[in-house]
Structure 1
Amino acid sequence: MFAQGRLAEALQARRGQLFLWAPVLLGLGIGLYFALRWEPETPHYLGLGLGVALGVLGSRSGSAALVLPAAGVGLVAAGLLLAGARAHLVAEPVLGFRYYGPVEGRIVEIDRSASDAVRLTLDRVVLERMSPARTPARVRVSLHGRQDWIVPRPGQTVVLTGHLSPPSGPVEPGGFDFRRMAWFDRLGAVGYTRTPVLLLEPARGGAELWMARQRMALSVAVRERIGGEAGAFAAAVSTGDRSAMPAGTLDALRSANLAHLLAISGLHMGLLTGFVFALVRYGLALWPWLALRLDTKKIGAAAALAAGAAYLALSGGNVATERAFIMVGVMLVAVLADRRAVTLRSVAVAAVVVLVRRPEELTGPGFQMSFAATTALVAVFAALRGRTFGPRVLRAVAAVVLSSFVAGLATAPIAAAHFNQISHYGLVANVLSVPVMGSVVMPGAVLAACLAPVGLEGAGLWAMEAGLAWILRVAHTVSGWDGALSHVPTPGPAVLPLLAIGGLWVALARGPGRIAGALPLTAAFGLWAAAERPALLIAEGGGLVGVMTAEGRGLSKPRGDGFAAGVWLENDGTPVAQEIAYDRGVTKGAIASAGPVSVIHVTGKRALEGLAGCGGAGIVVTNVESGTERPCLVLDVSRLRETGSVAGYADEGRLVLRSASELTGARLWTRGAAAQALPALPAEGQ
């Protein structure tokens, strides 16, 4: 009884801190759902619902011994239940074959593809000879060739002749699964067109598309008034439209670790709402009669919340901006409720709201980096509260440097894991750029918005142009320094979870016990350093093979399947041009060594028919169907359609093959059962 009483007292003393772990446990359940290799069925969901109910009852039982385990089990079960419910609620038809023909639809989004082509997302899709029940709710089409017949605008109904296919799986087993992202975006097909896009009906639609049209009109107006790189940058930070950003500019911003300034995220939302809050609060304070009768702090918070909501609507309401608005909104509501705004509790509330609304966000770099940076900043500045460092003049500079260092340190491993690169001078670039974004660019945007109704927005746009021109100059300068960027291989699946556990334990735990967070952090970096890249990689359609050589990854052809080639080389930590990787001794139609087993890549039916047996190799890879029995493992297009991409690992004289379908399993977005495991091949000659 004495021990139980002490436990109850300890829980009561830490009651405010326990809520900080709610999003962690909720995220654990969501992560478990996405890690499954099978889809839960009705009995599983009933069991999870029972687990949530028991968790609620146990946490309210008053028994100190039940509170923590009951709350933990309930939150984990709730995470699993939320993710599964969301996956079923967004279910829409997915194209099951390659389609070529007329495509009709309404434009709902305009952006750019990885190859820098204009890309349209269409809803209300009509495909030839396909029933509405089988037609995807949304398709995405990249525009190639001459496309000056119309100026695309949201709400327009267009028709085109397109090549469509189902969203593809991971380009290598265990890699990013585009099919899953497309499933939650209700995207049932992707493709391209080389013929002109024709207008069927002018822009129509409800309030959402009306706002999208206003956003595009504003983006065009900003680019016309400012022009050049700075104009495209201004349109991006004002409306979220990055379609005019040159590829070279994007590369420079990424290399200098300034790409976060391009996306409308927590930084932009925080700077905007913070400026509006200060402007309204201190502006009203200049009128003593009003300041003595009204709570100017709450008026400022309400005005900032309204400005944030308007910015969310104007920017298109994408996931990153929505997440940023939720985080800022929770803090402003705390001000309205006379609570301290910037606390870890506010961050936890925002994380819970985001995870409940969009559980799939947990696995994305945006969610991970946003909350890693915010949690680290709030924890560090809370620990330093009440301390002063040097004269008042230097405190602002010290705060900027410390903020950039802490945020960069918290997000660098996540960015490296997702994007395979580390910016070595990112701290310098951010110290030189972030204050300009906060003190010049965002105030200029607010000034332009306020003066636009009377035609005097020029002053605000001039400030935006000057500030963004400085940031671009910093990006190009820093990215050009020697050693500005280095590359790292992709870590194993356990690394990011261990980093999250370790970092959260250090940030959220209290007392000397927080040092225990160093254990998972050390384990994560140790596993990353020991990560092994596959000796063999095979593309999903059999069109490309890559083997690891002494010089790095060698590819079987210098052009074609460029997306897969680029991802493979980036994941190796050596993002060279495909032509360079082709020169590493691996040629199409020739035998190459993949660890202890040789492989030959044959493309085209005629070349395959001319191959005698296996051509002396242990594995034959081809992009056509093989109707001939051969005394080796044949991975033709039919087999690869079932397995998806394939990776081979050298292990004690064998080549162990793993397929994408085997690792992903049978899920809603895979549209079928998991493929059977591929055989492990012994070393040749054994």
Structure 2
Amino acid sequence: MGRVGRISNTIRAQIGAVLIAQRGHMLGWVPVCLAIGIGCYFSIKVEPKTPHFIYLLLSSAVLLFLARHLTEAISPLPVGVALCMIGFVLAGVRAHTVAEPVLGWRYYGPVEGRIIAMDRSQSDALRLTLDQVRLDRVPPARTPARVRLSMHSKGPAGITPEPGLRVMTTAHLSPPSGPVEPGGFDFQRHAWFARLGAVGYARVPLMGAAPAQDGQAGLLVFRIRMAASAHIQQRLPGDTGGFAAAITTGDRSAMSRDDLDALRASNLAHLLAISGLHMGLLTAVVFGALRLLLAAHPRVALVWPTKGIAAVGALIAASGYLALSGGNVATQRAFIMVAVALAALIIGRRAISIRAVAVAATIVLIWWPEALTGPGFQMSFAATTALVAVFGWLRDLEQDLVPRWAKPVFGVFISSLVAGLATAPIAAAHFNTIAHYGLIANLLSVPLMGVLVIPAAVLALVLAPVGLDWVALWLMGLGLDWILGVAHWIAGIDGARGYVIAPGPWVIPLLTLGFLLLVLWQGRLRWAGVAAILASFVLWQGAERPEVLIADNGTLVGVLTKDGRALSKAKGAGFVARNWLENDGDGTSQERAARHWRAGPIVHLSGKRAVASFAGCREGQIIVASVEVPALSDPVCTVFDPVRLKHTGAVALNQTVEGWVMTTSRDTAGERLWTAWPEPKDLPDQYVRINPTKRP
């Protein structure tokens, strides 16, 4: 054997030894491989065809077959590649399964449908989601399965919305909009998986078209939820009642905007989402109460499997909470995690382990592959994985780090610190904010959720049949008043909230890789995770923002200056303005950003009058208009109006020595199931010119 052969054998032996060292810890990598495949599906620019999915399935089957005939050291490699392929196929199948008609034009006219969800919009308006939709002169084959309306009626209130009620109104509808900037949050994709085919608003009152139907289980549960919410708010009026309704039934419609902002600024907004914390606390309270009750009888405690019985009771309680809270994706995800842990207790296994977290993550990714791209999935599993890993390492230490009497306080402190550190980068990447005093707020609030608020909620449910739930709700209100007080106190501190620039596309994947290596890998290679995490922060620090941003309908322009981003309008397009500023890492208001706007090479024409009075452009100017600009006889400038922007989506421009470099949302989003770009066509010169010009 030659030298090359010996080196090759040595490398194979070393790889085999490294992989053998992972034996018994491979289950944690199953959801990771699935997530890689799912991430690849969502990152490509062209929708795969059916033969591509068939090829990947066949290839994965061949790899799994080959893995059975390879040595134990090498077999995990083809299995991992096969799981990546399966994840890709799962995401594609899910995307095709949820396909529903999407409105292809702006619509104004009668809208009729059945209320299946109620919440609040960003502007604090009542928002209704309707199914069984009917639109005037729109055939059923082109009618969206669901539409979402914000109610902005300023006249008579009309009927009171209730679950299952069939209503009608006159509304403005439009297709779900694309990203507010190239590479930004893609609401089109989010709406596709939510089966939302149109969004809009109504300025006229609702009218009833048919009474609510009680025959469907989903609507019956919805009505019970809203009735429970109204009852809680009656017992606990004001902001406290709205908070209580939010954490018990998922109804946030009574939460004031001030309270929501304070909870976000103090990093306590996670208490509103019925997710892992609430589900874990609820099941812990029920499990502990049932074990104490069963232990009170000596014969039962000695003969019956009390732990398993208590786990079954806690699982039943978690199922009821899932239904009562509305069963959104975050709550379903939390239920799966809790169910896996309780199932482990029932069969006598360790409830809290990396294996249990991996099983829960695998189930979620198989059922909802699109959850991978959302902050809820990323933050909840990051926090859970970090907590399990850290407490596992502490448990393996032989010596006690703290005295026995201080262990509860130490546990709360470590839990808040670890969960905060694990989720802070993800929250900052998605929401561009950092709560500087979030650890203090959580240490002062989260323990109270466990010892008072959640037990009181369980007690209220038990006492409700005899009419004594007001006692438990009063106790619950005391805890919630304290939490709201902490939130407003922390939010009022100077510098409580910081803003960070939006990271580049590789920051979160690299950060996640480093985190997973630290937690899952066995051996010295795990410390490469530290290097990956540091590299992700270096990339984040070097992130750059576009010099010019143009909204997808031409209603807003933003130019980066030395004083921050200057916006072309002080009002209007508020959602777009807020996202641009937050992605810049700038917490200023739209009105303040508009004060920096100066006329220059970028001209914004807002409205028909501005376009009609436009005298013409100079060479090198860029004209952005919110309505169509008439064809120029001698185009010497570049025009972005709705005609062009319909083909491109939002636009980002950056200045180079050769002129402007343009990136469009169409470039970054690609041609996917959820995109609705018109067919490419030749546009007049005024649309296609990008001339070198001075930096704005």
Given the two structures, how large is their TM-score scaled by the length of structure 2? 0.94
Matched, 1:52 2:55: no
1:136 aligns with one of 125, 132, 144: 144
Q: Secondary structure at the residue paired with 2:614?
A: coil
C-alpha distance after superposition, 1:134-163 (max 9, x if no partner)? 100000000012463222111000000000
Structure 2 partner of 1:666: 671
The AA in structure 2 aligned to 1:101 is: G
- 8 Å Cα contact 1:144-1:192 kept in structure 2: yes
- 8 Å Cα contact 1:449-1:457 kept in structure 2: yes
Matched, 1:174 2:179: no
The AA in structure 1 aligned to 2:65 is: L
Structure 2 Cα separation of the partners of residues 675 and 538 of structure 1: 20
Distance 1:626 1:3, change over 3 A: closer
Q: Secondary structure at the residue paired with 1:148?
A: coil
Matched, 1:113 2:121: yes
CA shift for structure 1 position 9: 7.2
Structure 1 partner of 2:153: 145
The AA in structure 2 aligned to 1:505 is: L
C-alpha distance after superposition, 1:383-406 (max 9, x if no partner)? 000542322221100110010000
Q: Secondary structure at the residue paired with 1:23?
A: helix
- 8 Å Cα contact 1:51-1:73 kept in structure 2: no
Residue correspondences, number: 676
Matched, 1:238 2:248: yes
Distance 1:45 1:674, change over 3 A: farther
Distance 1:421 1:3, change over 3 A: closer
- 8 Å Cα contact 1:536-1:547 kept in structure 2: yes
2:569 aligns with one of 554, 557, 573: 557
Structure 1 Cα separation of the partners of residues 664 and 413 of structure 2: 46
Matched, 1:81 2:84: no
- 8 Å Cα contact 1:400-1:435 kept in structure 2: yes
2:410 aligns with one of 398, 410, 417: 398
Structure 2 partner of 1:201: 210
Matched, 1:346 2:356: yes
- 8 Å Cα contact 1:659-1:678 kept in structure 2: no
Matched, 1:43 2:51: yes
Distance 1:681 1:343, change over 3 A: farther
* Runs of 5+ unmatched residues, structure 2: 1-8, 682-686
Distance 1:550 1:442, change over 3 A: same
The AA in structure 2 aligned to 1:632 is: C
Structure 2 Cα separation of the partners of residues 131 and 444 of structure 1: 51
Structure 2 partner of 1:34: 42
C-alpha distance after superposition, 1:438-460 (max 9, x if no partner)? 01000001111111111121221
Structure 2 partner of 1:187: 196
Distance 1:632 1:384, change over 3 A: same
Aligned-pair identity in percent equals: 54
- 8 Å Cα contact 1:613-1:631 kept in structure 2: no
Structure 1 partner of 2:624: 621
Matched, 1:384 2:384: no
2:312 aligns with one of 298, 302, 306: 302
Structure 2 Cα separation of the partners of residues 683 and 345 of structure 1: 58
Structure 2 partner of 1:518: 530
Structure 1 partner of 2:684: none
Structure 2 Cα separation of the partners of residues 8 and 486 of structure 1: 47
- 8 Å Cα contact 1:55-1:72 kept in structure 2: no
The AA in structure 2 aligned to 1:162 is: A
Structure 2 Cα separation of the partners of residues 8 and 657 of structure 1: 48
Matched, 1:656 2:675: no
Structure 2 Cα separation of the partners of residues 127 and 407 of structure 1: 47
Structure 2 partner of 1:467: 479
Q: Secondary structure at the residue paired with 2:141?
A: coil
- 8 Å Cα contact 2:619-2:636 kept in structure 1: no
Moved more, 74-83 or 387-396: 387-396
Matched, 1:487 2:491: no
Structure 2 Cα separation of the partners of residues 25 and 674 of structure 1: 36
The AA in structure 2 aligned to 1:115 is: S
Structure 2 Cα separation of the partners of residues 614 and 35 of structure 1: 39
Matched, 1:644 2:649: yes
Structure 2 partner of 1:325: 335
Structure 1 partner of 2:103: 95
1:372 aligns with one of 379, 382, 404: 382
Distance 1:391 1:535, change over 3 A: same
- 8 Å Cα contact 1:172-1:645 kept in structure 2: yes
Moved more, 598-607 or 84-93: 598-607
Given the two structures, how large is their TM-score scaled by the length of structure 1? 0.96
Q: Secondary structure at the residue paired with 1:373?
A: helix
C-alpha distance after superposition, 1:305-341 (max 9, x if no partner)? 1100000011111000000000110010011111111
The AA in structure 2 aligned to 1:118 is: L
CA shift for structure 1 position 288: 0.4
- 8 Å Cα contact 2:103-2:142 kept in structure 1: yes
1:228 aligns with one of 238, 248, 269: 238
C-alpha distance after superposition, 1:199-250 (max 9, x if no partner)? 1122114001000000000000001101111111110111010011000000
- 8 Å Cα contact 1:94-1:134 kept in structure 2: yes
CA shift for structure 1 position 502: 0.9
The AA in structure 2 aligned to 1:301 is: A
Structure 2 partner of 1:595: none
- 8 Å Cα contact 2:20-2:72 kept in structure 1: no
- 8 Å Cα contact 2:618-2:636 kept in structure 1: no
The AA in structure 2 aligned to 1:283 is: L
Distance 1:96 1:68, change over 3 A: same
Q: Secondary structure at the residue paired with 2:560?
A: strand
Q: Secondary structure at the residue paired with 1:384?
A: helix
Structure 2 Cα separation of the partners of residues 264 and 87 of structure 1: 26
Structure 2 partner of 1:267: 277
Structure 2 partner of 1:571: 583
Structure 2 partner of 1:635: 640
- 8 Å Cα contact 2:274-2:331 kept in structure 1: yes
CA shift for structure 1 position 631: 1.2
- 8 Å Cα contact 2:623-2:637 kept in structure 1: yes
Q: Secondary structure at the residue paired with 1:168?
A: coil
* Runs of 5+ unmatched residues, structure 1: 592-597
Matched, 1:454 2:466: yes
Distance 1:339 1:538, change over 3 A: same
- 8 Å Cα contact 1:312-1:325 kept in structure 2: yes
- 8 Å Cα contact 2:646-2:677 kept in structure 1: no
The AA in structure 1 aligned to 2:424 is: A
Moved more, 214-223 or 284-293: 284-293
1:256 aligns with one of 249, 260, 266: 266
Q: Secondary structure at the residue paired with 1:661?
A: helix
- 8 Å Cα contact 2:286-2:317 kept in structure 1: yes
The AA in structure 1 aligned to 2:465 is: P
CA shift for structure 1 position 285: 0.6
Structure 2 partner of 1:215: 225
CA shift for structure 1 position 481: 1.1
CA shift for structure 1 position 585: 3.1
Structure 1 Cα separation of the partners of residues 10 and 603 of structure 2: 72
The AA in structure 2 aligned to 1:154 is: P
Equivalence map 1:598-617=2 (5 Å):
598-615=601-618, 617=620
CA shift for structure 1 position 681: 4.2
Q: Secondary structure at the residue paired with 2:24?
A: helix
Structure 2 partner of 1:161: 170
Structure 1 Cα separation of the partners of residues 13 and 592 of structure 2: 69
Distance 1:164 1:65, change over 3 A: same
Matched, 1:407 2:452: no
Structure 1 Cα separation of the partners of residues 532 and 656 of structure 2: 27
The AA in structure 2 aligned to 1:174 is: G
